[in-house]
Structure 1
């Protein structure tokens, strides 16, 4: 059985939810339809003509890419332009294109986590906090016979986390009353007769991002036809997600040694370096993509070096004057997401016949001589 397009994306968005994206980011389905069976998914950094040819040859139904193919409003769709020819080819071969950009950068296990994992950094924190998952208090009234069943369902759905403590809840016994009306089939009691039931008031914490899922599994595990529950917003802040990462480099290294490590870890032929190559490096900031405007964030975090891409000339001078080193590994370093996302999604789709492959096309536009 092949997975439907919507199912593939729902599973992918468990890794990179849309609400993690920056407000002006161009993400989501950009071309084609998800209302079809997906036999093969291609994970790509960019959607270039060569990547589309690869998709056609592989029999791909859906491309999940990091960089948008439609970034600005289209004034026209002329098929004698490079972009128009690309869109035409995708449409003719019924290949849908879905984009995950800053939401995949921010996500736990996303692009930036893949980069720091490749470098072996520890004691990680975000370079810039961009999203805080709001918390809700979920209260539900359950008959004593199903108390643990409902609790287990909620915990499995991700409810009950307070900091590093899981399965957190509070339960209070009491008496519930209800009068089933004509046409009902109550779990306890009978229609037309006031019922008093020994119930338990269950309270737990639910992140707003998991609220819908938690309520669904709670209702499914609950024996009543009509489930009595409440949701309250809390002032308590939930988990914080951010762009970039800052971490410790175990054992330390010189700037030269770290530059060599990045070339090997990220499979890049060359890097540009700002700073004294003999300088000792202990704390490293990492940001996939263009990172010029994050130099001050790295400085504020106490990093010795910022590893990123697309550093411009004046930013390099400013960083040198401020005393922070830079390693420009290029924007294409984000290609690390191809294998990482392909492995994640393949594991999610293991019970289906849908295949997931990582693009083998090199989309680095620069040549290094």
Structure 2
């Protein structure tokens, strides 16, 4: 059994919903269609000619990438140019391209958490450098016949409702009596047409994240026995879960900048890194941000980090950091390549859990797309 491209992306959206992307980021479908069966999906950091050739060789109908193939508006697709040739090749071989960029950076369990895990930043009290998105809370109230309460509750829990911090399946119930009169054309679960019916019901209250509203309500209605389900949604003043760019936290043991730079090289399999600061500087609290992090150096310092691991640090940012007593490990923009194997493994697990008969394969690209070499 092959999974449809749209269904596969729905699984990805559970990890990295599009709404969590930074404003104006180029994400989502950029080439081709998702409305087709997928035998193989290739996960990559960048979409280059070599990566497209790899996709062709592996029979992939879909490429899931971190960096956009179309970042700026194209006035035309000129197949005499490198970018035009690339798009032409993708279309000719019916390969779709889907982008998950800052939404995957921001996601809990996404790029920056993968980097933080690899770099020894403790998960306890881990924070982010810049808030990007905060979910809203809603109170869901639904009236359920007593014998069906547990089934409706379980449907809500499984769809993600009833979560408050570290507590799950949170709800409140009150017994009562519901009344209704079924009209012509109705098929009531109980009672008779054109007769007032009294039903023993339970008023079920729980909290849900606004981002999951549609999913939870659909699951609740599906599990509910009534033809017409009476429910309410109320705004809630409780602050929902926040999501942000970068991660910051403490190391298990303090070290020096020089020693930690060596650990970063080993953990991310790098041949070299650039550092700003005295190699003997003590490092206990570390910030990390995949990609280009020059504008987050001050944020990391003000948040109490001893150093920040990121990429694309320019000369003047490095000068200012040095003067300000902030240390930097510039490991390169390409450290985001960690998403290739991590996302491929995550998606593989999700689709087989969804249906163990799925034969679609998720493969990690083996092409190194880093444009820089060290000699």
**Offset at residue 188 of structure 1 (A):** 1.3
Give the SS at the match of 1:85: helix
Match of 1:4 in 2: 4
**Offset at residue 53 of structure 1 (A):** 0.6
Please, which moves more after superposition, 151-160 or 22-31?
151-160
Match of 1:175 in 2: 177
Match of 2:364 in 1: 358
Alignment of 1:257-276 (within 5 A): 257-276=259-278
Instruction: Please list the CA deviations of residues 57-108 of structure 1 after superposition, one character each: whole Å capped at 9, or x if unmatched.
Output: 1101000000000001111111110000000000000000000000000001
Structure 1 unaligned residues grouped into runs of 5+: none
Q: 1:293 & 1:158 partners in 2: Cα distance?
A: 35
Q: 2:38 & 2:58 partners in 1: Cα distance?
A: 13
Q: 2:120 & 2:147 partners in 1: Cα distance?
A: 48
**Offset at residue 220 of structure 1 (A):** 1.1
Give the SS at the match of 1:14: helix
**Offset at residue 143 of structure 1 (A):** 0.6
Match of 1:119 in 2: 119
CA RMSD of aligned residues (A): 0.8
Match of 1:68 in 2: 68
Instruction: Please list the CA deviations of residues 135-183 of structure 1 after superposition, one character each: whole Å capped at 9, or x if unmatched.
Output: 1110000011111211111111111112222111111111111001112
Q: 1:302 & 1:150 partners in 2: Cα distance?
A: 46
Match of 2:348 in 1: 346
Give the SS at the match of 1:165: coil
Q: 1:93 & 1:155 partners in 2: Cα distance?
A: 42
Instruction: Please list the CA deviations of residues 96-121 of structure 1 after superposition, one character each: whole Å capped at 9, or x if unmatched.
Output: 00000000000011100000110121
Q: 2:32 & 2:335 partners in 1: Cα distance?
A: 28
Please, which moves more after superposition, 326-335 or 228-237?
228-237
Structure 2 unaligned residues grouped into runs of 5+: none
Match of 1:42 in 2: 42
Give the SS at the match of 1:136: strand
Q: 2:152 & 2:302 partners in 1: Cα distance?
A: 45
Give the SS at the match of 2:237: coil
Match of 2:160 in 1: 158
Match of 2:138 in 1: 136
Corresponding residue pairs, total: 369
What TM-score does the superposition give when structure 1 sets the normalisation length?
Answer: 0.99
Match of 1:97 in 2: 97
Q: 1:154 & 1:322 partners in 2: Cα distance?
A: 51
**Offset at residue 239 of structure 1 (A):** 0.4
**Offset at residue 280 of structure 1 (A):** 1.1
Q: 1:259 & 1:149 partners in 2: Cα distance?
A: 53
Match of 2:374 in 1: 368
Please, which moves more after superposition, 233-242 or 37-46?
233-242
Q: 2:52 & 2:259 partners in 1: Cα distance?
A: 38
Q: Does 1:326 align with 2:332?
A: no
Q: 1:296 & 1:280 partners in 2: Cα distance?
A: 18
Match of 1:109 in 2: 109
Instruction: Please list the CA deviations of residues 4-44 of structure 1 after superposition, one character each: whole Å capped at 9, or x if unmatched.
Output: 11001001111110001011100000000011111100000
Alignment of 1:236-247 (within 5 A): 236-247=238-249
Give the SS at the match of 2:67: coil
Match of 2:30 in 1: 30
Match of 2:21 in 1: 21
